[in-house]
Amino acid sequence: MEDIAREAGVSRALVSIAMRDAHGVSATTREHILEVARRLGYRHNRVAADLAGRGAGAIGVFVADLHNDLYADVFDGIREVLDAAGRRIVLTVGAADGSRDTAGLDGLLEARVGASIGLGVRLSDAELHDRAPLGPLVLTTREVPGLLSAASDDVAGARLATEHLLALGHCRVTFLANPPGDGYLGRRRGYEAAMTEAGLDPHVQVTSYDTAEVRRCARDLLAGERRPTAVLAHNDRAAVAVLGALADLGLRCPEDVSVVGYDGAEAAALPGIELTTVDSRAAEVGRQAARIALAQVDHEAEAPEPAPITPRLITRRTTAAPTGA
């Protein structure tokens, strides 16, 4: 930077201003400075800038699992908003089993981000509360009392899916639930509410996040007596595993069993799968999370009380009226 200032015949401070696109420098000299910087092969040192700049800085994003397409959608929404706001993103990646949640979130803190957004965080409500003093964290697709979050209305979405099945004439609808624990409970609640209101008994089968295990579990369920005529899965990955279980048993979908997923991930639309699912509006969730995070770093008095994100049902191949008895 020293060199650039000398070469461009301006002050060190002016170069700094030009690099940051701040005002206080005329457009022509700015261009000149950037030109000299380019010629000298100068590359702005973000590390030093962040340290000196008192870390107004970046927004951290923790992605629990790179294999989950849904998070990619959320990330797209986050980036859209953060790009527009001119904010940098610091990204850390976790593991599908949640074992890296703490390390990933800590990594963001050590990078001195102004606020973090967590996709797929599996820490318990209590652990999350313990971490609250460490800095603002916006959770997505999950609500924890007293903490920030951006989520689409899972209760409404699951209700939508359940009512779709009931309207088709299904009575024995099983909900294939994610492992219990804090968070990610809305879908189950929506299903139970819709069933109860229809005067039917909810039937919840708890399963795993591991698809191979979901497939085994679904196979047991579907091979048992009083087989459900429809299965609503807690997410698309699980629903696809149910499709696999049906194939294993030689059962047809939707003729023998209807299947509904949840999320609207890319894979759900694939030819050969064409899953009826609930679009959870992941990109919008991301946008909202980013706006909340921005409000935190900008110390806005009141967080933007965000508009509710309403999921929508996407009807595809895997649901139909139940046949026979």
Which of 39, 44, 67, 189 forms a contact with DNA (CB under 7 A)? 44
Which of 40, 51, 134, 270 forms a contact with DNA (CB under 7 A)? 51
| Cβ contact 185:175 at 8 Å | no
Interface with DNA, residue 134, by CB under 7 A: no
Using CB under 7 A as the binding rule, the residues of this chain from 4 to 43 that contact DNA are 9-17, 19-20, 22, 24-26, 29, 42
Q: Measure CA 205 to chain center.
A: 24
Q: Which does 223 bind (CB under 5 to 8 A by kind): DNA, a copy of itself, none?
A: none
Distance CA 117, CA 227 (A): 41
DSSP 135: S
Distance CA 102, CA 325 (A): 50
Interface with a copy of itself, residue 153, by CB under 8 A: no
Q: Judged by CB, which is closer to DNA: 11, or 99? A: 11
Tell me which stretch binds a copy of itself (CB under 8 A): 29-37, 70-78, 122-130, 153-161. Answer: 70-78
Which of 31, 35, 40, 45 forms a contact with DNA (CB under 7 A)? 45
Closest distance between DNA and the C-beta of residue 12, in Å?
A: 6
Tell me which stretch binds a copy of itself (CB under 8 A): 31-39, 64-72, 156-164, 185-193. Answer: 64-72
Contacts of 88 (CB under 8 A, 6+ apart): 46, 57, 58, 59, 82
> Which H or E run includes 110?
helix 101-110
Distance CA 53, CA 60 (A): 17
Closest distance between a copy of itself and the C-beta of residue 90, in Å?
A: 8
Phi, psi of 60 (to 5 degrees): -90, 140
Q: Angle at Cα 206 formed by Cα 205 and Cα 209, nearest 5°?
A: 130
Which of 13, 22, 40, 51 forms a contact with a copy of itself (CB under 8 A)? 51
Which of 138, 243, 257, 278 forms a contact with a copy of itself (CB under 8 A)? 243
> Which residue from 298, 285, 294 is spatially nearest to 139, judged by alpha carbons?
285
Tell me which stretch binds a copy of itself (CB under 8 A): 6-14, 66-74, 219-227, 291-299. Answer: 66-74
Tokens found for residue 36: 């000299």
Contacts of 133 (CB under 8 A, 6+ apart): none
Contacts of 223 (CB under 8 A, 6+ apart): 249
Quickly list DSSP for 186-248.
HHHHHHHHHHHHTT---EEEE--S-HHHHHHHHHHHHHSSS--SEEEESSHHHHHHHHHHHHH
Q: Which does 25 bind (CB under 5 to 8 A by kind): a copy of itself, DNA, none?
A: DNA
Interface with DNA, residue 299, by CB under 7 A: no
Q: Judged by CB, which is closer to a copy of itself: 185, or 249? A: 249
Which of 38, 67, 189, 252 forms a contact with a copy of itself (CB under 8 A)? 67
Distance CA 191, CA 234 (A): 10
Phi, psi of 67 (to 5 degrees): -85, -5
Q: How many residues bind a copy of itself (CB under 8 A)?
A: 46
The 211-240 contact track toward a copy of itself, x by CB under 8 A, reads: -----------------------------x
Interface with a copy of itself, residue 134, by CB under 8 A: yes
Q: Which residues bind DNA (CB under 7 A)?
A: 1, 9-17, 19-20, 22, 24-26, 29, 42, 44-45, 48-49, 51-54, 56
Q: Which residues bind a copy of itself (CB under 8 A)?
A: 41, 43-48, 50-51, 55, 63, 65-67, 69, 71-73, 75-76, 79, 88-89, 91-93, 106-107, 109-112, 133-134, 240-241, 243-244, 246-247, 266-267, 270-273
